[in-house]
Amino acid sequence: MLFVPTRSRPPSKAFTLIELLVVIAIIAILAGLLFPSFQTARLNSYRTTATGNLKQVAAGILAYGGDNEMSLPGPLSVGQGPNYSQELSETLGFHLWKYIGAAEPTGTIQQAKMLSNPAYERGRRSPNSPAYVLNQMVADDTGALRKPWGVSGGDLPVRTPTVASWSDNTQLWALQDVDQVNVEKLVGAKPSWFGELPVKPVHGVVRLVLFFDWHIEPVKVPDQTGS
């Protein structure tokens, strides 16, 4: 009888289950380490875009004043978002459209890009949600309360030289990010559009604030104890 040797099988090149689990575990660890960095980079990118947009809005407000007897735009609603039209006339978009690269108002609702930002668009709960709120009541140097953006059927917007004369205008906010956490403090009551707002600050640990000297500053979000 002839003996026929059997061929040995070549070693398998496939992953074993243990090797596969080890690879998956390593990938999960690396993802966990890198995710906060990606999140921070994304928030910084969003904040840069939002800051640039607000600079354009500030420039638009000043340009509007130059064409309108140095008055602020208005009257304006307290909540301001990108939507505007001929009917939505109490909006920054309606008054500033030609200064911020938006289309002329029509009977159809349009959106002004400069009055929006990526972080707000990710956080909002409705396309009609305000992105910002305006400071509707400030005290001038005499202590008298003023409504800088005017009131429908009542007070007209103040003039920019009036704002410039306020001694604390570098610390007097004109417009800032709004969300469900800070809206009642800023507006004085829960508005009808509360449920449309982002649940938390869209820029993480800061909110962007436009001051009445027209500089923009990221202001740290207070913790829940108010500190």
CA distance linking residue 166 with residue 162, whole number of Å: 7
Q: How many CB atoms lie within 10 A of CB 166?
A: 19
d(CA 149, CA 159): 9
CA atoms of 174 and 214, how far apart (whole Å): 8
pLDDT per residue, tens digit, the chain (227 aa), is 555 565 666 665 666 878 788 888 888 887 777 666 667 788 889 999 999 999 999 999 999 999 999 999 999 999 999 999 999 999 999 999 999 999 999 999 999 999 999 999 999 999 999 999 999 999 888 888 899 999 887 889 999 999 998 888 999 999 999 999 999 999 999 999 999 999 999 999 999 999 999 999 999 998 754 44
pLDDT at 118: 94
pLDDT for 35: 61
Q: What is the model's pLDDT at position 5?
A: 60
10 three-class SS: coil
139-143: long-range contacts (C-beta < 8 A, 24 or more apart)?
140/165, 140/166, 141/165, 141/166, 141/167
Residue type at 181? V
pLDDT of residue 20: 80
Q: Sketch the domain layout of the chain as residue ranges.
A: 19-220
Closest CA to 80 of 134, 127, 123: 134
Give me the pLDDT at residue 226, please: 43
Residue keyed to tokens 């007097």: 172
Residue 215's alpha-carbon distances to 51, 65, 139, in angstroms, are 10, 17, 19
Whole-number pLDDT of residue 142: 86
Answer whether the bond into residue 82 is a cis peptide, omega within 30°: no
Distance CA 31, CA 28 (A): 5
| pLDDT value for 10 | 61
